[in-house]
Amino acid sequence: MLIGTKGDYGVRAMIDLARQHTGQPIARNEIASRRQVPEAYLDQLLGLLRRAGYIKSVRGPGGGHLLACDDKEITLLSLLETLEGSLEPMSSLSHELDITGQAWIWNEIYDRMRESLESVTLAQLVEVEKTNEATTAPRYLI
């Protein structure tokens, strides 16, 4: 499985929105800066996430983006499929592969991957990030 920049940057943005969630909109440039995502590209991804119902956008002064639903209800699988499209390991797990005896293994791998990604929520990603930050000691160079 290869996750492209859409999936990577989109998940980064969603983690940021979940971490910064106060009920107030968060400006796109703040998300882009914190998550090291090009702002123009982030704008496209936020549009995808808004159309999928994961975020809300507020226009005008003080506007920005915020989560539209609980981060415990958003799975990594649903985010990646929204951002990347199908995650199938081959373009079509078709009858042709079944004849060659390959389809069963690709289907099994795909099913296990989907189960794993479905079991991870946005809330869990946020908690892991917080834990990693807390256990990483700052380094000082003199």
Question: pTM (2 decimals)?
Answer: 0.86
The reported pLDDT for the residue numbered 50 is 97
Q: How many CB atoms lie within 10 A of CB 137?
A: 6
User: Hey, which residues does 65 pair with through a beta bridge?
Assistant: 26, 57
Q: How far apart are CA 69 and CA 78, in angstroms?
A: 13
The reported pLDDT for the residue numbered 62 is 87
Alpha carbon separation from 114 to 78, 88, 110, 111, 118 (Å, rounded): 10, 9, 6, 5, 6
The reported pLDDT for the residue numbered 134 is 82
Secondary structure element (H or E) that encloses residue 64, with its range: strand 64-67
**Residue 56 phi, psi dihedral angles, 5° rounding:** -115, 150
Secondary structure element (H or E) that encloses residue 56, with its range: strand 55-58
Give me the tens of pLDDT residue by residue for the chain, a chain 142 residues long.
678 999 999 999 999 999 999 889 999 999 999 999 999 999 999 999 999 999 999 998 889 999 999 999 999 999 999 999 988 877 665 555 566 677 778 888 889 999 999 999 999 999 999 998 888 766 666 6
Please name each of the domains of the chain with its CATH number. 5-135 (1.10.10.10)
**Residue 63 phi, psi dihedral angles, 5° rounding:** -80, 180
